[in-house]
C-alpha cells in the first residue's frame, strides 16, 4: 500500500472510515486510522454486548483481515477479538453496520478466525480500490471497485 499520508489510498481510507462511521451512526471522532506496516483503523462503539457487560465494544480493521469486533479490557491495553466479518477487506459500510447489529442482537456473525483476505504490500489492486473510494457501489456489496483478476 502507498504509505503517503496524503496520497490517494490514504484519502480513500479516511473516506471509507467516515462512511462506515456514518452507517454505524457513530461520530467520526470515535475513529482513528494509521498507515503503518499494515494499514489499520479503529472505531469505538456505544454500548456493550449483553454477554459482556463489563467490556467496551469496538471494531478494528486492517488491510489483511478486514473488520473484526473486539472487546476492550478495563486497562485499555488489550483487545479480545470476538469475530471477523470476513468476505471482503472493504465491504460496503452497510454490511459493517449489519454485522454490528447482529452482534448487538446477541448473535455471533462472521467467523472466529482471521480470514487472511489479502497480504500487505500485495500487488492486487487494493490501493486502487481505496483511491477510488468516491464510488461506493451498494449493489455489489463492496466499497469501491472489486479488484480485477
Radius of gyration over alpha carbons of the chain, in Å? 15
- State the cell numbers at 25: 451512526
**Nearest CA-CA partner of 12 in 45, 39, 42:** 39
Q: What is the pLDDT of residue 1?
A: 55
**Nearest CA-CA partner of 73 in 61, 65, 81:** 81
Transcribe 97-144 into DSSP letters.
HHHHHHHHTT---SBSS----S-TT--SSHHHHHHTTT-EEGGGTEES
Average pLDDT over residues 67-92: 90
Q: What is the pLDDT of residue 136?
A: 44
Across 4-13, 53-62, 79-88, 124-133, least confident range: 4-13
What does the DSSP 8-state code read for residue 19? H
pTM: 0.85
Q: pLDDT tens across 5-35, in order? A: 667 788 889 899 999 999 999 999 999 998 8
* Whole-number Å distance between alpha carbons of 65 and 62: 6
Q: pLDDT tens across 97-146, in order? A: 999 999 999 888 999 999 999 998 888 888 888 888 745 443 344 555 44
Amino acid at each position: 500500500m502507498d504509505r503517503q499520508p496524503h496520497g490517494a489510498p490514504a484519502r480513500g481510507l479516511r473516506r471509507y472510515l467516515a462512511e462506515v462511521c456514518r452507517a454505524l451512526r457513530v461520530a467520526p471522532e470515535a475513529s482513528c486510522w494509521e498507515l503503518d506496516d499494515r494499514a489499520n483503523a479503529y472505531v469505538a462503539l456505544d454500548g456493550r454486548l449483553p454477554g459482556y457487560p463489563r467490556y467496551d465494544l469496538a471494531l478494528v480493521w486492517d488491510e489483511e483481515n478486514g473488520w473484526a469486533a473486539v472487546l476492550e479490557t478495563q486497562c485499555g491495553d488489550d483487545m479480545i477479538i470476538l469475530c471477523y466479518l470476513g468476505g471482503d477487506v472493504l465491504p460496503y459500510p452497510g454490511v459493517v453496520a449489519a454485522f454490528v447489529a447482529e452482534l448487538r442482537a446477541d448473535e455471533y456473525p462472521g467467523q472466529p478466525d482471521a480470514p487472511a483476505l489479502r497480504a500487505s504490500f500485495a500487488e492486487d489492486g487494493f490501493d486502487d480500490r481505496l483511491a477510488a473510494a468516491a464510488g461506493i457501489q451498494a449493489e455489489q456489496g463492496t466499497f469501491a471497485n472489486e479488484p480485477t483478476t
